[in-house]
């Protein structure tokens, strides 16, 4: 079942075309990767899907609905969550509070009920706290729930960002370089963790990643960008043996 589709989405900044005619299809339950050299336009593609940028051309469809012009918070509310290449936590807030904030996206109580702490709000608040604690347990951060997020090691900050994304109840999760800055052991743990949350939360996952160990280990399909253009798409084995992909990553000599 198709969950996300893009039709020729293009992003231009002045005279620069960052992404050109990107056609993507994600099927429910898949783990799909987007790879390419630095500056290839991968994060720009993420930003168009999540509403940070409005495509210069083309359309984005989520579960058959056109979301191209929706603002980011409405796209998140519809079921698409993301993490960022540069971790964006509330650094002065506790680990628990970072997850609680994301839970508020789906709160039904109004401001009046919240200010007076009426029963409806208190009941929702209790459920949000319990859900947040459960998520922290799942990502292995329950012991650090009262610590400032900025005090966590880098790998745990990545896990906290994923927990915060999961708190929005997504069906589609976009991960922007989740293994960036991790050591080999953390990278191995993350690979298993991504598979686990895909299965446990019944997610579809679309990720940008430079660690080929992660990409080849869990991706069912891979898209490859170079200078904003899709130069290849296929299974991990097909991508590994694609000469154009090899040239984009390693380069070729002029007389090759």
CATH code where residue 234 lies: 3.40.50.300
pLDDT of amino acid 88: 81
Question: Cα angle vertex 83, ends 217, 171, to 5°?
Answer: 75
Q: What is the mean pLDDT of each run of 10 residues along the chain (256 residues)?
A: 96 94 97 92 96 97 97 94 86 91 68 62 78 92 93 89 93 93 85 92 95 91 94 94 83 47
Instruction: Estimate the crossing angle of helix 95-103 against helix 119-138, to 10 degrees.
Output: 120
Q: Where does the chain show beta strands of DSSP type E? A: 2-13, 16-27, 31-35, 57-62, 65-66, 80-82, 172-176, 204-208, 221-226, 229-234
Q: Based on the domain organization, do 135 and 195 belong to the same domain?
A: no
Asked if residue 149 and residue 187 are part of one domain, the reply reads no
Tokens 């370089």 found at: 177
**Are the beta carbons of 157 and 97 closer than 8 angstroms?**
no
Provide the pLDDT for residue 21: 97
pLDDT value of position 37: 87
Q: What is the pLDDT of residue 149?
A: 92
Residue that terminates a domain, selected from 116, 141, 167 = 167
Write down which residue in 142, 167, 192 finishes a domain.
167
Give pTM, 2 decimals: 0.88
Is position 254 within any domain?
A: yes
The domain tally of the chain equals 2
Domain C-terminal end among 167, 186, 202: 167
Same domain, 177 and 158: no
Identify whether residues 73 and 5 lie together within a single domain.
Answer: yes
What residues make up the domain containing 149? 90-167
């Amino acid at each position: 079942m198709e969950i996300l589709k893009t039709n020729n989405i293009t992003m231009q900044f002045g005279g620069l075309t960052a992404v050109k005619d990107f056609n993507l299809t994600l099927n429910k339950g898949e783990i799909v990767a987007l790879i390419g050299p630095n500056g290839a336009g991968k994060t720009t593609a993420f930003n168009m899907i999540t509403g940070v940028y409005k495509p210069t051309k083309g359309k984005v469809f989520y579960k058959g609905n056109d979301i191209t012009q929706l603002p980011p918070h409405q796209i998140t509310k519809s079921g698409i969550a993301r993490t960022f290449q540069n971790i964006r936590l509330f650094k002065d807030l506790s680990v628990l509070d970072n997850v609680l904030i994301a839970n508020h996206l789906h709160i039904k109580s109004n401001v009046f009920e919240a200010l007076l702490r009426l029963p409806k709000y208190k009941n929702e608040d209790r459920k949000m706290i319990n859900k947040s604690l459960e998520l922290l347990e799942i990502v292995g951060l329950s012991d650090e729930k009262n610590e400032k997020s900025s005090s966590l090691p880098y790998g745990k900050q990545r896990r906290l960002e994923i927990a915060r994304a999961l708190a929005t109840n997504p069906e589609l999760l976009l991960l922007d370089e989740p293994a960036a800055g991790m050591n080999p052991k953390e990278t191995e743990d993350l690979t298993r963790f991504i598979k686990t949350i895909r299965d446990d939360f019944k997610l579809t996952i679309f990720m940008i990643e430079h660690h080929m160990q992660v990409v080849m280990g869990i991706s069912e399909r891979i898209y490859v960008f170079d200078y904003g253009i899709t130069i290849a798409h296929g299974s991990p084995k097909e991508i590994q043996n694609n000469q154009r992909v090899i040239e984009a990553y390693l380069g070729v000599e002029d007389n090759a």
